[in-house]
């Protein structure tokens, strides 16, 4: 595997479910990011992890809970989501000192 | 919060035509990045610009970092069908120790063969 991978690619969940999104990067980077992409809105930064420490939580509701167990893996734990949380969730990675971020293919999330 | 104004929002062109799109901001950025996103995929980095006034090419793509550091443009010459997609600009700032990108709304490019 190369680049940034995300699983699952598609997820449908009810509002009472608990699920997790997974991201893995094979680029040797040490910073990872979660973005939300909704229709007709710019990409919104949700969380930033640099050197495995969270350095940014962009006023994201607590029903989204990130986890970064090591520099190659990033998770987004989801629980009691709302229909308006339906979106494409993108993971990205970079070197901590670099401005260039590389994205995974995203997880298309639908909350019913 | 910071916003980037990207225009046009959509373009419908004939194959072979040149394309131009731009981003403007009320804030200064120290880096501009241009990404392309295909349906069902994540954005792919096309060009990164690091210095005001810098002009950089990547094949048929050319991008410039505005002298005021508040704008950037992307040109595509002699468009081909695989250029179809959504193009995003992104401005970079270092904020509270984190590398932060602020994205434009995107320009959707459609090409008629």
pLDDT (tens digit per residue) in B58-80: 999 999 999 999 999 999 999 99
3-state secondary structure of B93: strand
pLDDT at B2: 61
Which of B101, B102, B108 has the highest number of chain A CBs within 10 A, making it the mutation to test binding with A?
B101
User: Rounded distance, CA A19 to CA A31, Å?
Assistant: 23
pLDDT at A8: 98
A94 by Cβ neighbours in 10 Å (0-12 / 13-18 / 19+) ranks as buried
Q: Is the pLDDT of residue A93 over 90?
A: yes
Q: Inform me whether the C-beta atom of residue B45 falls under 8 Å from chain A C-beta atoms.
A: yes
- Report in angstroms the alpha-carbon separations of A81 from A8, A85, B52: 17, 6, 43
CA distance B92 to chain A (A): 7
Contact at 8 Å (CB) between A70 and A52?
A: yes
User: Rounded distance, CA B32 to CA B89, Å?
Assistant: 7
HSE at residue A31, side-chain half, CA atoms within 13 A, is 18
Taken as a whole, chain A contains a residue count of 112
Binding-site residues on chain A for chain B (CB distance < 8 A): 4, 6, 31, 40-43, 45, 48, 50, 55-56, 90, 92, 94, 96-106, 108
DSSP codes, B2-20: --EEEE-SEEEEETT--EE
3-state secondary structure of A51: coil
Question: How does strand B55-58 pair with strand B44-49?
Answer: unpaired
Mean pLDDT over residues B81-97, rounded? 90
Neighbours of A60 (CB within 10 A): 17
pLDDT band per the 50, 70, 90 thresholds, residue B37: very high
User: Rounded distance, CA B51 to CA B81, Å?
Assistant: 31
Q: Is the pLDDT of residue B1 over 70?
A: no
Contact at 8 Å (CB) between B7 and B68?
A: no
């Amino acid at each position: 595997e190369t680049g940034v991978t995300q699983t699952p690619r598609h997820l449908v969940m009810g509002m009472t479910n608990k699920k997790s999104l997974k991201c893995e990067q094979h680029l040797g980077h040490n910073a990872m990011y979660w973005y939300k992409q909704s229709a007709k809105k710019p990409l919104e930064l949700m969380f930033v992890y640099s050197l495995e420490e969270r350095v940014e939580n962009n006023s994201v509701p607590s029903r989204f809970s990130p986890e970064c167990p090591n520099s190659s893996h990033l998770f987004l734990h989801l629980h009691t989501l709302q229909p308006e949380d339906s979106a494409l969730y993108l993971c990205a990675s970079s070197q901590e000192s670099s401005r260039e971020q590389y994205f995974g293919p995203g997880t298309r999330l639908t909350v019913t | 919060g910071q916003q980037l104004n990207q225009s046009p929002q959509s373009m419908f062109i004939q194959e072979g035509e040149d394309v131009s799109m731009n981003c403007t901001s009320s804030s200064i950025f120290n880096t501009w990045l241009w990404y392309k996103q295909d349906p069902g995929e994540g954005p792919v980095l096309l060009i990164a610009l690091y210095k005001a006034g810098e002009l950089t090419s990547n094949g048929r793509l050319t991008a410039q970092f505005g002298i005021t550091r508040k704008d950037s443009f992307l040109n595509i010459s002699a468009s081909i069908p695989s250029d179809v997609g959504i193009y995003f600009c992104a401005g970079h700032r270092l904020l509270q120790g984190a590398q932060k990108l602020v994205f434009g709304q995107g320009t959707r490019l459609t090409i008629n063969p």
